[in-house]
Structure 1
Amino acid sequence: MAKQKAPLPVIRRRIGGVGLLRWAVRVASSIVLWTALLQLSTFFGLPLSPLRAARPSCIGNRNASATASAVTAVASDDVGDLAHPALPTRRSYKSNGYLLISCNGGLNQMRAAICDMVTVARYLNLTMVVPELDKQSFWADPSDFGDIFDVNHFIYSLRDEVKVIRELPQKFNGKVPLSMQPVSWSSEKYYLRQILPLVRKHKVIRFSRTDSRLANNGLPLRLQKLRCHVNYNALRFTPSIEALGNKMISSLRKTGSFVVLHLRYEMDMLAFSGCTHGCSGQETAELTRMRYAYPWWKEKEIDSEKKRLEGLCPLTPGETTLVLKALGFPRDTRIYIASGEIYGGEKRLAALKAEFPNIVRKEMLLFEDELHLFQKHSTQMAALDYLVSVASDVFIPSNDGNMAKVVEGHRRFMGFHRTIQLDRKKLVELIDLFEDQELSWNEFCTAVKELHEGRMSQPTRRKVIAGQPKEEDYFYANPYECLGPARKRREKLKHTET
């Protein structure tokens, strides 16, 4: 009997070896299949199943709950860092034609125009070509759309709204599209009744000017929310601009909070606005010559003092210094100046630096080689200022131009972050009274603070003035249709009407 039982261990070992081999093959096959699935999911942008959170041990380990929480946190971080978000479902529609747009103006004027034109393309069921940026204006910036904005993100984030292509199909090569300028501040009905028939007839239409071509008010809610979706989601700066902007913000944050002063006191602003208060006779003559040198600028003869008293001029650096002190900003406040080259150079900033020595500019936060590629690209430099301005603790524009308005609206969208909207008309009156010694310093400070108590970007509705769109509140300065209740301000924008 013993001799008959002796071979059994050998048989068991053989059976065990075969089973182990089969098990190994199955494991290897599973790994290969799972790896292939991951690769395909990544390639096609398919969503992956979320990682399962660790469960507390059933054995009664008192550290099990903490361990589970830690693993869950790590898993969540991994998903946030590694998982590719699913692309929006492409909207299927029959295109009525192609829309080309040539933006005009600076960064923020073009930004708002792009939002408007995407909305028009969506409403008319058009196919939109990636926008062309202004290269002919005073700044002569040769940057293309892809030099400033992330083109792929722009196209993919709008898949469920409008089809965006990089260039016209080859069948339209050599064909000159119908070129026109839409009527300013138009409603959606204008585009439906006047523009759509032209697109259907010509198949391709080009808007040669796009600034302020869509009304502030009276549009359907879904279109207003789409404008916000484009502005706060689809228009993302290029990775290189985002990286430098984040570096600047991190440097400013190392010492605590910081204020951004949008000091719009550059040569082009003063020349074209005719605002020369505080300038010498020689400087005034230089600015006037520049204004006359540009034939496309229609307003030539300008009464500078009249415009200033009407609140239509930017505050000078000296006037801004008085206002900051009166508002109670301490001497050690860290102030980032968001602007191009200040007209008059360092001497014009002397008073501001004397009262607030902790002044910072982008040249102080970045290395020379980092800024070198941006030097002759004013629009890209403005993009850096935009990122820092949106992230600041307080934003104070000395003028109500496009950047001031668009940044204010973005800060409202981010959670009504503090923006001080200076009342320049009343401020220059107070400043003149103080400088003429008709107001004491304490009286001046009290008046300035009381004047701005309700001008800190509190939630409010836009002022609507029928028939006067230029005088009413700008949509992009206060897109209240997109802000929602206070508790939901930071939630992801839902641009479809519910």
Structure 2
Amino acid sequence: MKGEGKMVFKSKLKWVGLVGLVLSAFSLCTHFLLARYTDDEGISQYQSAITIFSWRPMFENADLSTLKPLYRRLWGPVRRLESLHPHANPRGNYAVPVSQTNGYIFVRIRGDFHEIRNSISDVVVISRLLNATLVIPEIQSATSSKGISSQFKSFAYLYNEDQFMAALANDVNIVKTLPKNLKGARRKKEIPTFNVPHSASPFFYLHHVLPVLNRHSVVELVVSEGGCLQAMLPPHLEDYQRLRCRVAFHALRFRQEVQELATKILNRLRATHRPFIAYDLGITRDVLAYYGCAELFQDVHTELIQHRRAWMLKRGIVKGNLTVNSEDQRRNGSCPLMPEEVGILLRAYGYSWDTVIYVSAREVFGGQKKLIPFHAMFENVVDRTSLTSPWELNKIYGHEPNLVDKYPKPPPSAKEEIKFEAWKTSGPRPRPLPPPPARPKSYNIEGWWGWVAESDNEPETTVMELRTNAHKLLWEAIDYTICVEADVFIPGFDRDGKGHPNFASLVMGHRLYQSAASKTFRLDRKKVVEHMEEIRDHLYEANRTWITSVRRHLRKSIIDRLAEESTKSKSLSFLSFPVPECSCLRPEIEALNYSSSPSTPSQFLAGLGGMHPCPSWMNNNTISSPNDKETDEDLDDDVTTSQLLFRSSSDNHEGDGEEINTKEDTQMEDQEELEGGES
């Protein structure tokens, strides 16, 4: 009986174990099914709440009143530019494109993000100028040969093709591909090709390209300099300038996955219920080489910059000597501002240690160590990596082929036969041993810069590096969206490695078009360096006079530098300054501004010339009353000198983080609040 009882008991245990295993398997299956089919948005929200943020925002005071004069000075709109509004619609007689065109224009575009954006706007204008059908441009940095996902085809890797075609339906005929017969001719290299010069004139296209287009029904344009049409067009082509604006600011939308991630990052920044600054570094190897700023860095970075400058000199990209006095270049304002200098400017202007700052950068040449002083001055410094998880970034890349060998092959060993032959031919003893066989280059190089110590020639770009360059386009697309929407934007540099307007210039142009009153600092780097030289021996301690001078410069840069940019940047890139062609003036705001302060907007707008009044349907919005405006009092007043202490993030975050511990500092802060911040 006892034996039978034990058998029954063991049998029951087996059944219990079996049921447990079945339930476990069912639970796992359910979990995987939920993970597979749950809505992506729900997953991303779950992930964002748990794993995303390496950023833990720290704020001194949760109450940030928008009614205070100090808030208006730091974050408020530029009242003197509130009268400018975006208006890029055609004016006058503007015919829709006809179905019968002169032929097809196929375009291959090379370059970085800002060059691609400029070039696309130009080729659309050229297509309308020549009455041609535009084939959606091919972005060379985003082709399948660069190791990116095969689910995207060049242009679609970065932008939304359907939106692009729909937005320009009334301007240009656009198709996705060439007809089959022309596609075959292109594969056989039978269609005429033009390597278009930078900033070519309309005359070039009308008298050189158009006749060839009429004969062959197709031409191929290769654009590699970041723009294939001159920035300034004759007055009778003003509607073509507005077409540029419609392309850049309306038709060019990023593809859905990229746009959604950029919106998520923007929402995460806004979730703090605080305004934020976007800061574009502009510190790239090409820029430093082009302007001769190598000596601002040390060791291997200087060597890398000098190597690139030698490469530029050899190809005629830059003129001059290989060795340039970098300190003189810096004093002339020809070198990017370092993050430490920008941080000191922002702190001197009044932004506290807990200000949220988004750092935009295609690359940070010199490494993250260049940002250490900046992080010490501001606690809440973030970028796209600290506001997203790795899987969110990987999602926008799509499924990419594996280019990394998980099991790298060991260095090849010398063959025994070679050793024996060497011994036979080495002569009488003592026999000198032959040199060891050369190892593959990958085993000799320590780090991405290792080739500098071994060769005068930079190694060829690998497929992995080409893929990373394609990824950088997506990173810049995200940064571009954040910078355009930021409450305040400040650039570290506004030129690229060819002397043309760069990413930051496009951002400033977009902000001027979309929301001219948004605060955008356009720094005069030469004057900034002069300010920095005044306190070179005590960078983190400044007297009242110096602070007042810096604040005046920053406030003036918002308005006064616009007139200079309208001649310098605009002549190189129309999209960096699309005013007045793509803007209009609200009449009632203009009247209020002129009556309250005759010199405020009138001089600037008169200097631009050709300002069009806004249509009547745009004049229904509420406008600022003159009573809301703060007087632009001079910042000079006779107050005893004081010290400005920049506390690091490791300090005790108590107090206002700006001027502390002295009676004079308190007086200065009170005076700033009384002055407000009318720009």
Shared topology, TM-score over 0.5?
yes
1:103: which partner in 2? 109
Pick closer, same or farther for the CA change 1:473–1:117 going to 2, 3 Å.
Answer: closer
Percent of aligned pairs with the same amino acid? 28
Offset from partner CA, 1:409-442 (integer Å, 9 cap, x none): 1111212122111111221122122205699543
TM-score by length of 2: 0.54
User: Which amino acid in 2 is paired with 1:406?
Assistant: L
Question: Does 2:530 correspond to 1:429?
Answer: yes
Does structure 2 retain, via aligned residues, the 8 Å contact 1:462–1:474? Answer: no
Q: 2:243 and 2:528 mapped to 1: Cα distance?
A: 37
1:168: which partner in 2? 178
1:407: which partner in 2? 507
Offset from partner CA, 1:316-341 (integer Å, 9 cap, x none): 12222222222222111100001134
Does structure 2 retain, via aligned residues, the 8 Å contact 1:483–1:489? Answer: no
Does structure 1 retain, via aligned residues, the 8 Å contact 2:257–2:396? Answer: no
Structure scoring higher RCO (CA < 8 A, sep ≥ 6) equals 2
1:310: which partner in 2? 332
Question: Does 2:366 correspond to 1:344?
Answer: yes
1:479: which partner in 2? 578
Offset from partner CA, 1:272-331 (integer Å, 9 cap, x none): 543235312332123323444676574371513333222121111222222222222211
Q: 1:335 and 1:470 mapped to 2: Cα distance?
A: 26
1:263: which partner in 2? 281
In the TM superposition, residue 461 of structure 1 has moved relative to its aligned partner by 6.1
Does structure 2 retain, via aligned residues, the 8 Å contact 1:185–1:213? Answer: yes
User: Which amino acid in 2 is paired with 1:367?
Assistant: S
Pick closer, same or farther for the CA change 1:413–1:174 going to 2, 3 Å.
Answer: same
Q: 1:272 and 1:240 mapped to 2: Cα distance?
A: 35
Pick closer, same or farther for the CA change 1:200–1:464 going to 2, 3 Å.
Answer: farther
User: Which amino acid in 2 is paired with 1:229?
Assistant: R
User: Which amino acid in 2 is paired with 1:442?
Assistant: R
1:221: which partner in 2? 238
From 451, 462, 478, the counterpart of 2:553: 451
Report the RMSD for the aligned CA atoms in angstroms.
3.1
Does structure 2 retain, via aligned residues, the 8 Å contact 1:407–1:477? Answer: yes
The runs of 5 or more residues in structure 1 that have no matched partner are 1-88, 493-498
Question: Does 2:322 correspond to 1:301?
Answer: yes
1:67: which partner in 2? none
Q: 2:492 and 2:370 mapped to 1: Cα distance?
A: 15
Pick closer, same or farther for the CA change 1:425–1:471 going to 2, 3 Å.
Answer: farther
Question: Does 2:393 correspond to 1:371?
Answer: yes
Does structure 1 retain, via aligned residues, the 8 Å contact 2:280–2:359? Answer: yes
The runs of 5 or more residues in structure 2 that have no matched partner are 1-94, 398-467, 496-501, 590-613, 619-679
Q: 1:196 and 1:473 mapped to 2: Cα distance?
A: 24
2:6: which partner in 1? none
2:125: which partner in 1? 119
Question: Does 2:348 correspond to 1:254?
Answer: no
In the TM superposition, residue 249 of structure 1 has moved relative to its aligned partner by 0.4
Q: 1:216 and 1:152 mapped to 2: Cα distance?
A: 27
Q: 2:284 and 2:532 mapped to 1: Cα distance?
A: 22
Q: 1:335 and 1:490 mapped to 2: Cα distance?
A: 38
Pick closer, same or farther for the CA change 1:157–1:405 going to 2, 3 Å.
Answer: same
Q: 2:616 and 2:342 mapped to 1: Cα distance?
A: 32
User: Which amino acid in 2 is paired with 1:411?
Assistant: R
Does structure 1 retain, via aligned residues, the 8 Å contact 2:570–2:578? Answer: no
Question: Does 2:489 correspond to 1:395?
Answer: yes
1:212: which partner in 2? 227
Offset from partner CA, 1:89-112 (integer Å, 9 cap, x none): 973242112112222221111101
Pick closer, same or farther for the CA change 1:102–1:192 going to 2, 3 Å.
Answer: same
Q: 2:309 and 2:135 mapped to 1: Cα distance?
A: 34
Offset from partner CA, 1:438-460 (integer Å, 9 cap, x none): 99543332222222333226896
1:280: which partner in 2? 298
Does structure 1 retain, via aligned residues, the 8 Å contact 2:278–2:358? Answer: yes
Does structure 2 retain, via aligned residues, the 8 Å contact 1:108–1:406? Answer: yes
SS state at 1:259 partner: strand
Does structure 2 retain, via aligned residues, the 8 Å contact 1:217–1:464? Answer: no
2:409: which partner in 1? none
Range that drifts further, 255-264 or 199-208 = 199-208
1:148: which partner in 2? 158
Does structure 2 retain, via aligned residues, the 8 Å contact 1:463–1:473? Answer: no
Does structure 2 retain, via aligned residues, the 8 Å contact 1:259–1:335? Answer: yes
Does structure 1 retain, via aligned residues, the 8 Å contact 2:97–2:131? Answer: no
In the TM superposition, residue 132 of structure 1 has moved relative to its aligned partner by 1.4
SS state at 1:453 partner: helix
How many corresponding residue pairs? 399
Q: 1:356 and 1:131 mapped to 2: Cα distance?
A: 42
TM-score by length of 1: 0.73
Q: 2:268 and 2:112 mapped to 1: Cα distance?
A: 27
